[in-house]
Structure 1
Amino acid sequence: MAMKVKELADLVGISVRTLHYYDEIGLLSPEEITDTGYRLYSNDNLEMLQQILFFRELGMPLKEIKQMISSSSFDKQVALLQHQKMLMEKRSQLDKLINTVEKSIKHMKGEIQMTNKEKFEGFDFSQNPYEQEARKRWGDEAVDESNAKVAGLSKDAQKAVSEIYTKLASIRTASPRSEEAQTAIKEWYDCLNNNFGTYSLDAFKGLGQMYVDDQRFTKNIDQYGEGLAAFMCEAMKHFADGNQK
């Protein structure tokens, strides 16, 4: 039985705006759009959405997901087996971290003694995916400058960032093109340029795209409100396009 977009969003636990965005970028289009404009999703759509969310859970960007699931060689069963393998590896790392926490508690109580090496079992800092992506997009110099500024960010600046996210979250159900949304997103643009280096309009637009392409960004931003990352992406795109000379 076909499902409307709100029914699917409620079933899965994601926002309607996210499903609309997936449709806009050609990642997941509904089986049918009625004459009255209702999006109808089939069982095949549901299975493909499950695949997409598995990939997202593993931190894969939307662009790469789209390339994979659009390939003629894409096999759902093979993909599920791969998901299983990667999730088991992820679970193994989490189990190690849980074990380290449990041992640390016993160590603090004086029940056991931990070696310094044991205190850090399960942690993996071999790479910083956020920084790697940023370096690829904007270059080493811009990221180094941003890192230096983040490290020295004042409490007032941190508060300002949080307040802007909170304000944007409160209006995320409105149109990203609305005057209210564009005023708020300009505050974010100014905040970035005042605290994190120089952002051109194109870089600002590209950053907004990263908010939805990279699940790690999406999760952090959506802590302020489900669907905020997608809302900011659209608002930042409209702001950048509207202010190009």
Structure 2
Amino acid sequence: MKTVKEVSELTGISVRTLHYYDEIGLFKPTEVNEAGYRLYDDKAIDKLGQILVFKELDIPLADIKHIMENPGLDSSSVLAKQRKMLCLKKQRIERIIAGIDEMLKGDNMDFKVFDETELQDMFSDMLENMTESQQQIFIDQYGSAENWKKHLLESASDEKVQKNYAKLVEWYGDKDAVKKSMKSAPKSDVFASYQKRMGDIQQRIADMKGTDVNSFEVRQLVGEYDFVAKQLYQLEDSKAFLLDMAKGYQENEELAKGIDLVYGNGAAKYIGEAIEGFYLRG
């Protein structure tokens, strides 16, 4: 039997992480002695090895727990889904490397992410998913739907706007995924329902302020937030998007003030730290 410290030294997993795995029921000790020390036998060590293999593949802890608790489960579907996620990440990294290469060569980066035809199609898809009252707000502002579209197409050539489009491509994995999300976006009433749910979760996270962001309760809330964000924004993987949002909550003073006004003083910083803890310290 090995102590938690010995298991930590053997596997390179911190004692704190092993305690957390015990807390969430992912990896429990074989027994706890009278002095309260966690002890692990060889069978438990083998199980931890399986967990670490899945974790190396970036599979979320909740999915690993489900696999470990259901030995008869066909894990091929989970692995296939994870393979798809890793391929998207690979594409994103390749795009970043290509951009760096261009910068190192001293070339001007081409910020024209979407051409005019693509933007027109995206505008049509966006319009289709809006209610008449929502459309009317923009029609009143620009005089007509055609003027509104013209304004969007003209402003799209701005370098800053194209950088925002590039960020969208980074979040979604590729241009086709962005266009698909526009086409299959939830209708306005469903979208509003998801937005309300996300707001409710943010409030529940803010209410935990003062609690360790790595606690099971906070991580569970962020996990729920991750799930709803995927539904709301039609994302295969919401990690990049939510980490950017978390960064904004902590570094953008105006944004933080707005969040604190809604969810309470210090909410933006705490929510940002909770999201980062979920993805970066899991």
Q: TM-score, normalised by structure 2?
A: 0.40
Quick check: which has more Rg, 1 or 2? 2
| Higher RCO structure (Cα 8 Å, ≥6 apart) | 1
Q: TM-score, normalised by structure 1?
A: 0.45
